[in-house]
C-alpha cells in the first residue's frame, strides 16, 4: 500500500490518487476534503499534518457538528459488555479445571460477576482518553469521545465522565434518555464532564 497517495474531493467528486508533489499543483484550500490509505474517512486538508506543512495551512479548530445518536451509543456499549463478558466466561471456564462440585462452580461464576462492570468502567476511562478516543465498541460503530471542541480528553476528564455515569443511571436511566432532549445528544455524564460523543463528518 502506497501511503503517499491522496484522493481529493473536487467539485463534489473524488479524484486521484495524487502524490504530495502533485497536490501542490492543485487548487487546494484548507477545507478541501482529502483522504489517504489508512484513513477511515475524508478529512479537511488543514487537519492532515503533512499537508499543512506542504501547503502552508494552519490548523483550524472547529466545533464538532455530528453527534452520535442514542442507538449508536447503546450498540457500542452492548458490544463492549459482550466482549468483556466473553473474556469473563473464558476465565471462569478455565477456573473450572481447578474447581470441583456444582455449588462451588456456581459460586465461582456469581461472586466475581460484578467485576464485569468495574472492568468496563476502568477500560472506558483508559480507552476514551487514549489516542483513539474510543472503546472497541465505539470504534466499530465509528464514534468517539471528545471535549466540546472535538479534541482528545484527558485521563482525568475521562474518569469524571465514566464515574458520573451513576448520575445517568440513578434516576431510572433518565440521564441517558436526556440525550433525546439535548441538541448535541449529551447524557448527564457528558454534561458533567463537558464531553461529547461524536462521529466523523461524511461526504
Which domain, by its residues, includes 74?
70-199
Does residue 85 sit in the same domain as residue 157? yes
Does residue 91 sit in the same domain as residue 49? no
Grid coordinates representing 71 are 442507538
Q: Would you state the pLDDT for residue 60? A: 62
- For 146-183, the pLDDT digits (tens) are 998 888 899 999 999 999 999 898 888 899 999 999 88
% of the chain beyond a pLDDT of 90 = 43
Does residue 74 sit in the same domain as residue 117? yes
For residue 105, the Cα-to-chain-centroid distance in whole angstroms is: 37
* DSSP-assigned states of every residue in 148-164: TTSPPPPHHHHHHHHHT
Q: Would you state the pLDDT for residue 112? A: 77
Does residue 10 sit in the same domain as residue 82? no
Q: Would you state the pLDDT for residue 56? A: 74
Question: Is residue 34 within 8 Å of 51, Cβ to Cβ?
Answer: yes
Total domains present in the chain: 2
Residue 62, domain member (yes or no): no
Reported as a pLDDT band with limits 50, 70 and 90, residue 138 is: very high
Does residue 45 sit in the same domain as residue 83? no
Mean pLDDT confidence for 60-80 = 86
Asked if residue 201 has pLDDT above 70, the reply is no
Q: Would you state the pLDDT for residue 61? A: 64
Residue 90, domain member (yes or no): yes
Q: Would you state the pLDDT for residue 62? A: 66
CA distance 61 to 193: 20
% of the chain beyond a pLDDT of 70 = 94
Q: Which helix or strand (DSSP H or E) is residue 193 part of?
A: helix 188-193
Reported as a pLDDT band with limits 50, 70 and 90, residue 16 is: confident
Does residue 132 sit in the same domain as residue 51? no
- pTM (predicted TM-score): 0.68
Report which of 110, 195, 119 is spatially closest to residue 161, judged by C-alpha positions. Answer: 195
pLDDT, averaged across the chain? 85
Mean pLDDT confidence for 193-201 = 87
- For 77-127, the pLDDT digits (tens) are 999 999 999 998 898 888 888 777 777 777 877 777 788 889 999 999 999
Question: Is residue 47 within 8 Å of 16, Cβ to Cβ?
Answer: no
Asked if residue 55 has pLDDT above 70, the reply is yes
Amino acid at each position: 500500500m502506497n501511503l503517499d497517495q491522496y484522493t481529493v474531493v473536487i467539485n463534489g467528486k473524488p479524484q486521484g490518487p495524487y502524490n504530495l508533489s502533485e497536490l501542490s499543483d492543485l487548487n487546494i484550500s484548507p477545507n478541501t476534503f482529502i483522504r489517504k490509505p489508512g484513513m477511515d474517512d475524508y478529512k479537511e486538508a488543514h487537519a492532515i499534518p503533512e499537508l499543512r506543512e506542504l501547503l502552508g495551512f494552519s490548523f483550524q479548530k472547529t466545533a464538532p457538528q455530528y453527534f452520535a445518536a442514542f442507538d449508536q451509543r447503546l450498540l457500542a456499549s452492548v458490544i463492549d459488555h459482550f466482549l468483556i463478558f466473553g473474556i469473563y466466561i473464558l476465565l471462569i471456564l478455565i477456573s473450572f479445571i481447578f474447581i470441583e462440585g456444582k455449588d462451588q462452580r456456581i459460586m465461582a461464576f456469581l461472586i466475581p460477576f460484578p467485576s464485569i462492570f468495574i472492568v468496563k468502567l476502568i477500560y472506558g476511562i483508559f480507552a476514551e482518553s487514549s489516542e483513539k478516543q474510543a472503546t472497541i465498541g465505539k470504534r466499530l460503530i465509528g464514534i468517539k469521545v471528545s471535549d466540546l471542541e472535538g479534541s482528545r480528553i484527558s485521563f482525568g476528564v475521562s474518569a469524571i465522565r465514566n464515574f458520573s455515569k451513576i448520575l445517568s443511571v440513578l434516576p431510572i436511566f433518565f440521564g441517558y434518555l436526556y440525550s433525546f432532549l439535548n441538541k448535541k445528544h449529551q447524557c448527564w455524564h457528558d454534561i458533567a464532564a463537558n464531553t461529547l460523543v461524536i462521529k466523523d463528518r461524511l461526504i
